[in-house]
Each structure stands twice: as structure tokens, then as C-alpha cells.
Amino acid sequence: MQRIDKESSQAIFDLADKNKQKIVNLLVDLIRIQTPVPPGLNYEKAIEFLSPQFESFGFTCTKHVMPENTFLEKQKSTNQLLDGPRINLQAEKKSGKKPGLVLYAHVDVVPVQEESWTVPPWEGVIKDGKMYGRGTSDCKSSIAAILGALETISALKLDLAFDLNILITTDEEVGPYSGLCWLADMDVVWGDYFFCLDGSSDTLGIGANGMLEWMVEVHGKSVHSGISFLGQNAIEQTNLIISGFLELKNEIEKRRSVMPSSPEIQNQTGGKRANISPVLNVTMINSGVKVNIVPDKCVIKGDRRYIPEENIDDVIKELEDKLAEIKNAHPELSYELKTRKIYGGYSTEPTHSWVSFVKNIISYIKDEEPPIAGAQGSIDVGCVMEKRKIPQCAFGAGTTLESRIHGHDENILVSDLLDLTKVIALVITNPLD
């Protein structure tokens, strides 16, 4: 069991509670800096706001700007709506004598459909103990909590137990080459442990699925619909592929990772998905120009979430083999498959000392042990884990369902924001035994 200094912990709790309004106001300020992606135009404004605050606590700050040619080749080429400089912040404090710890959060958020919201999405409205606004749970609350924790331990003159490498990055919400992926390629992500703060408050995350996007373009022959029998309907041909992919979906989704699922997923599936599972989805279809023209092209798109135990090459080959099987049964079928890896899957053993360390601190603060779970979704932390196999775990301020992550009226409990502040403060001031 992790030994926690009770005297300093109580001092942290008392001061964090006293500074509640200051931490809340900081999050409000961050929400009001609108950073939806696409396009990602206000990243510079957000980083300029944050950098001097980290410097005030003795951190050395570096603004890492993704080169324009890298951005165009690896990011904007996949999404033409992206625009503006990709500025990422690194705040470091190191002695060279302590283990290194990465604290990670991202400043970008998903766009909003304002007509769906019952409160202004960019104001940080507080109502009934909750704060509403885009980015409250995913994950500007984590940035506010980091700064709240640093202010608390600075005021109490507590020593850091780790050399800190704080990364506030961009484009996590769109991929495939986010700021964190680029920093990993630049060997900027140093540290012995990784604490991802893009998590939830109701589980301690130990990993996530990988993600592959796929597209199949099916070719037919266009004719007048009155003589459709002389053409080849690309939609009808595509239906053969969709049917085959649904067969494959049933096979794929019987597999399981060793990582447990969150309690919410376990409950909503009646225990059928007690562990993280791979998923194959058909999510988009586009075809046709007019009702009386047989379409000569149909494009379907989807994604494949793969568990850490699966290999990306095998995942792609499985799609290729299924398409070859369908074509063997229907020789007239003409298609082209394209795939694009977004983020890799990863996991840390639930019994690892780093996971146990963070779990014990959360338990100490919340008076209950957090469930340990993997994520069905995917995150850019996978880019780091592919390069550096360091132990990681994830926690945050939002809840899996009630916080409406990516939805209208996104929110967090203010009490969860304070709890996260306390978790971070205890993690960075207590040595890992």
C-alpha cells in the first residue's frame, strides 16, 4: 500500500478547497478560449495564456510549433478544414535526480452545434454543482487542475517527488498526427511514467484500443435506370461488401482483450463485454447523382478498433482477405481498399506499481477504490506507447456517461474538478515506493 503523508495531504486538501473559485475561474477562462478542431485556429491564444502561468511556478516552457510542411503532409492532407499554427506547450522542471513523470492533456476540443445546447457552450456556466461548456470534461478541466495543483504545492512549499514533463498538446480530437504524436517523434516525451489526464473520474484507465480507418471504393457501370440491366449498379455491388463485413464483424467482436471494460459498458451489455473488445464499423456511404442514373461508384467508410493484443498488419490483412473472398464469389466485383492507421492500441498491467500508486491516491481522496478499465475508444497516447514502453494510466474530471463528452451540454461536477486537483497534487509530491 502506498504510504501517503497525511499531514501534507490534509494541507493540500484544505488549500485546494479554499482555492476552489480560483481553479473554477481558470477553467472558465480556458473554455472561453475557443479551440474547436477543425479548424484549430486559437491554439496560439490558448498556449500564450498558459505558458506564463507555468513559468510562474518555476517551469521552463517551450512552445513547439509543428513545421508547416509536416502539418500539410501528415495532418491537413487528411482534413482540409484544419487551419492555423499547431503550437504545443512543454513545461519542464527537472533536477536529474528524480524519476521523470509526464503529465499530459490536450487543449483542442470538438466543435459544437449551438442549437442543441441549453446553455452557452463557450461560457463555463455553473448550475447545480456542475460546470457546463465545451471542453469541461475533455479535457480543459485537467489543465486547470494541473495549474491548481501546482499553485497549491507551491504555496505550501512542498517538494516535487518527480521531475515533471508537462505536455499540453493539440489535434488529439482529429488525428492522425496530433501534437503529441509529433512530440513523440521529436523525442520530447521524456519520463519514466506517464499520467494521461484525458480520462474519466469513474475509472482508472490502463489502456485503449487502436484505431484503423478504412475506405472501399466500388466501381460499376453507369447507364439509364430504364436499362439498368445493361449496367452495373455500384450500390448493389457495395451491398455484397457490407454483408461480408457484417459477417466479419460478428467474428471480430467475439474476441476479448485481457483489459477489463468500464462498469458502464459491463452493465449496459449485461456482462457480455466484461473485457475490452475489438469493433468493426461501417459508418459512411456515398453514391449516386440522380435517381434515374445507375451509379458507377459507391464509397463506404468505417473504422476498425483493435485491441492491444491484435497486430495492425493482421487487422488490415483480415479486411483484405474478406474482400478477396467476396470477389471470389462475385468475379464481376471491382473495388479499391484504402486504410489509414490513426492511433495504436496499448495497455499497462493493472498490477503494475505505477497503476497501484495512482489507484491508492485516488482511493485515499475519494474513499473508494476506482475500477480499473481499458477504453473502447482510441487516443494519441498510443503514439507515445509505440515508441516508449513506459507505464501509463489515465484519469480525469468527467464521467463516462453523465458528462456528455463530445455531446451537447458537456459538463463536469465542480467537486470532480477539485478531486482531480488533489489527485495531481498528491501524485507529484508523494514518492513512488
Judge whether 1 lies within some domain: no
Residue 266 clears pLDDT 80, i.e. is over it = yes
The pairing of strands 193-196 and 204-208 is unpaired
Q: Which amino acid, 56?
A: S
| pLDDT on residue 281 | 97
Final residue of a domain: which of 343, 365, 398? 343
Final residue of a domain: which of 291, 321, 343? 343
| pLDDT on residue 4 | 82
Same domain, 31 and 143: yes
The pairing of strands 100-106 and 193-196 is parallel
Average pLDDT (5-26) is: 95
Residue 5 clears pLDDT 90, i.e. is over it = no
Same domain, 236 and 361: no
Same domain, 164 and 247: no
pTM for this entry: 0.92
Model confidence band, residue 6 (pLDDT cutoffs 50, 70, 90): confident
CATH number at residue 15: 3.40.630.10
Average pLDDT (88-102) is: 95
Average pLDDT (110-119) is: 95
Residues near 23 by beta carbon (within 8 Å), at least 6 away in sequence: 16, 144, 145, 147, 148, 417, 418, 421
Domain that holds residue 131: 6-208+346-429
136 and 411 Cβ atoms separated by less than 8 Å: yes
Average pLDDT (75-80) is: 84
Judge whether 393 lies within some domain: yes
Produce one character per residue of 244-259: b if its CB has 16 or more CB atoms within 10 Å, e if not: bbeebbeebeeebbeb
Final residue of a domain: which of 343, 368, 396? 343
Judge whether 240 lies within some domain: yes
- What count of other Cβ atoms lies within 10 Å of the Cβ of residue 388? 16
User: For all residues of the chain together, what is the average pLDDT?
Assistant: 96
Residues near 10 by beta carbon (within 8 Å), at least 6 away in sequence: none
In percent, how much of the chain has pLDDT > 70? 100
Residue 47 clears pLDDT 90, i.e. is over it = yes
Model confidence band, residue 249 (pLDDT cutoffs 50, 70, 90): very high
Same domain, 241 and 329: yes
Same domain, 71 and 177: yes
Judge whether 269 lies within some domain: yes
Cα–Cα distance between 372 and 350 in angstroms, integer? 7
Same domain, 199 and 254: no
pLDDT in tens, 370-422: 999 999 999 999 999 999 889 999 999 988 788 999 999 999 999 999 999 99
Same domain, 220 and 284: yes
Instruction: Work out how many domains the chain is built from and give that number.
Output: 2
| pLDDT on residue 279 | 98
pLDDT in tens, 119-170: 999 999 999 999 999 999 999 999 999 999 999 999 999 999 999 999 999 9
| pLDDT on residue 2 | 58
Same domain, 278 and 327: yes
Judge whether 280 lies within some domain: yes
Same domain, 98 and 169: yes
CA neighbours closer than 13 Å in the CB half-sphere of residue 140: 34
- DSSP string for residues in 268-318: HTTTTTSB---EEEEEEEEE-S-TTB--SEEEEEEEEEE-TTS-HHHHHHH
Average pLDDT (80-95) is: 94
| pLDDT on residue 80 | 85
Residue 347 clears pLDDT 60, i.e. is over it = yes
Judge whether 193 lies within some domain: yes
225 and 286 Cβ atoms separated by less than 8 Å: no
Same domain, 122 and 246: no
In percent, how much of the chain has pLDDT > 90? 93
Same domain, 284 and 141: no
354 and 348 Cβ atoms separated by less than 8 Å: yes
Judge whether 163 lies within some domain: yes
Judge whether 98 lies within some domain: yes
Same domain, 179 and 241: no
- DSSP string for residues in 187-200: T----SEEEE-SSB
| pLDDT on residue 169 | 98
Residue 117 clears pLDDT 60, i.e. is over it = yes
pLDDT in tens, 177-214: 999 999 999 999 999 999 999 999 999 999 999 999 99
CATH number at residue 329: 3.30.70.360
Alpha carbon of 156 to those of 45, 159, 398, 419: distances in Å? 30, 9, 27, 18
| pLDDT on residue 76 | 85
